Amino acid sequence: MDIGTLEKRLAREKAARSEAEALLEAKSRELYLSNKELLKASQTLIGQSQQLNAIFDQALTVILLADGDGTIQRANRSAEMTFGREAGELKSTNLYDLLDQNSREAAAEMERRRDPAKKFTAVGNMQEMVGLRADGTPFPLELAVSVFELEGKRHGVWITRDITARKEAQEKQLRLEQELRQSQKLESLGTLASGIAHEINTPIQYINDNAHFLKESFADLMSVLQAYDVLLQKADAHDQFKEQTGAVRANAEAADVDFLKEEIPSSIEQTLDGIERISKIVTAVKEFSHPGTTEMTAIDLNQAIETTLSVTRNEWKYVAETTTDFDADLPMVPCLPGDINQVIMNLIVNAAHAIESKGGENLGKIAIKTSHADGQVSVSITDSGCGIPEANRGQIFDPFFTTKEVGKGTGQGLSIAFNIVAQKHDGTLSFTTEEGVGTTFTITLPAVQASGVKAETEAETKEAV
């Protein structure tokens, strides 16, 4: 091979080599760059995953991921706290075991309606259900269910939230509103009633005075008439003034005087009776609506009951007879008079309704009894009504619980009564009942403490001795 050829070859190979080196450098540079990007991507992924985990765990709502059978795969911190179970315990638990019986069906129905083909289902409408804590205590929650498929397998995600606090706040709000409405209604009724009562008082005064006057003066007139009768008989006996005595007799007959003699006094008597009754009612109304004292005032419960009975007469007179057995030595009770009147009224009206719904031809019985012992005063109101079915006994003091027909009751009566007695007066309201036989509601209230007066008089006695 000549040198020229060799040199050419060498030159060619050198060129090829440097070309290869350049290529290598470019390639390795490329590799370096893509590796760098990969690293960055993987870091981003790790970051994102941490972020997702953090969101998952820090979320205030409960998030539960389950497989197709409903067995929990993942649960967040909220889930542990809400259901009161450890993460380990939650895993492998079935989702449905976290709900009470009724809610299980509702949740299953929600899940059935979800179409896994739709990749994304909005967590729009949450449903209120009842969940169970680890110890089986039920609590209100709201739940949304979504379903998706991953690697050909069906999965479910449950998003749920404990709404106990919200429910309580709502109920409290409702109760307050209801009470406010009720008390406003009573207040305006009271104002109206006492205004009317006052208006009626003046005419009653003079109707009563006039009726008394008629009664007395009729008696006076009667004695005059009797004297005339004697005169008439004398005239007859002496056979005198025939024309005049005839006229007197004719007039007396036309006026039916014998009837008048009988009926006028009894009609006046009945009028007086009626006035007496009106006066009693008016006094009762005045007392009942005694301008809303908002402070504790000592009252005589016996009298308050008497008053309430006459104000509510219309509610019970066609269904029941009422009897009272009052403790004559009942101590005064410090209370909010309007509120306590309302409690007694609610219980009496309830008793009447219980008797009404039992039916039957004879009048039922409402018996009210007062007594005191150990600084406590108690009032029991017993009816011969339908009694309270076992299933309802736990709920009768709950707001809005009612078994009455729509329009008959708001379901507030007993709840308000309970609230007034227990919360405002530090008393108790309890009941005993037997279905078909009747119910007794018993209110106990702390009586006025007489200790102060006693201690003082003891000191005085000493002084005097």
Partner 1 sequence: MSARVVFVDDEPNILRGLQRTFRRLRNEWDMDFLDGGEAALKHLSENPADVIVSDMRMPGVDGAQFLTEAAQTHPETLRIILSGEADREMTFRTVGVSHQFLPKPCNTDSLCEKIRRCLAAKSKLPHADLQIAASGTASLPVSEETLQTLKAAVEGASSSLEDAADIFASEPGLAAKILQLANSAYFGIGQSVNSPAEAVRLLGSDIIKPLVDKGCFKSAAATPALNTAVFDHTLTQAKSMAALAQKAASEAQASSTQIELARVAGLLHNIGRLVICSNFPNCYSDLESGGAVEPAGLDQQEEQAFNCTQADVGGYLALLWGLPDAVCTAIAHQTTPDTAPDPRDAVLLALQAARQAGGEGHEEAAA
Structure tokens at 407: 């329009």
Q: Based on CB atoms, which residue is closest to partner 1, 60 or 453?
A: 453
Q: Based on CB atoms, which residue is closest to partner 1, 123 or 450?
A: 450
> Judged by CB under 8 A, does residue 302 bind partner 1?
no
Cβ-Cβ contacts under 8 Å for 449 (sequence gap 6 or more)? 375
The one segment of 22-30, 158-166, 391-399, 447-455 that binds partner 1 by CB under 8 A = 447-455
Structure tokens at 261: 């003699």
The one segment of 11-19, 98-106, 130-138, 328-336 that binds partner 1 by CB under 8 A = 328-336
- In whole angstroms, give the CA distance from residue 50 to residue 46: 6
- What is the contact mask toward partner 1 in residues 53 to 92, using x (rule: CB under 8 A)? ----------------------------------------
Query: Which residue from 63, 145, 193, 275 is in contact with partner 1, where contact means CB under 8 A?
Result: 275
> Judged by CB under 8 A, does residue 453 bind partner 1?
yes
Q: Based on CB atoms, which residue is closest to partner 1, 217 or 323?
A: 217
Query: Footprint of partner 1 on residues 238-267 (CB under 8 A)?
Result: none
- In whole angstroms, give the CA distance from residue 389 to residue 433: 9
> Judged by CB under 8 A, does residue 272 bind partner 1?
no
Smallest separation (angstroms) from partner 1 to the CB of 301: 13
Q: b or e along 393-407 (b: 16 or more beta carbons within 10 Å of the residue's beta carbon)?
A: eebbbebeebbeeee
The answer to whether 141 touches 162, Cβ cutoff 8 Å, is yes
Mode of pairing for the β-strands spanning 127-132 and 138-150: antiparallel
> Judged by CB under 8 A, does residue 207 bind partner 1?
yes
Query: Which residue from 164, 210, 233, 270 is in contact with partner 1, where contact means CB under 8 A?
Result: 210
> Judged by CB under 8 A, does residue 329 bind partner 1?
yes
Q: Which of these, 327, 215, 232, 332, lies nearest to 275 by C-alpha position?
A: 215
Structure tokens at 109: 């129905």
> Judged by CB under 8 A, does residue 452 bind partner 1?
yes
Q: Find the helix or strand (DSSP H, E) in which 97 lies.
A: none
> Judged by CB under 8 A, does residue 33 bind partner 1?
no
Length of the chain, in residues: 465
- In whole angstroms, give the CA distance from residue 26 to residue 18: 12
Query: How many helices and strands (H and E) does the chain possess?
Result: 13, 12
Residue ranges binding partner 1 (CB under 8 A): 198-199, 201-210, 212-213, 216-217, 275, 279, 282-283, 286-287, 290, 293, 295-300, 303, 329, 332, 334, 448-450, 452-453, 456-457, 460-461, 463-464
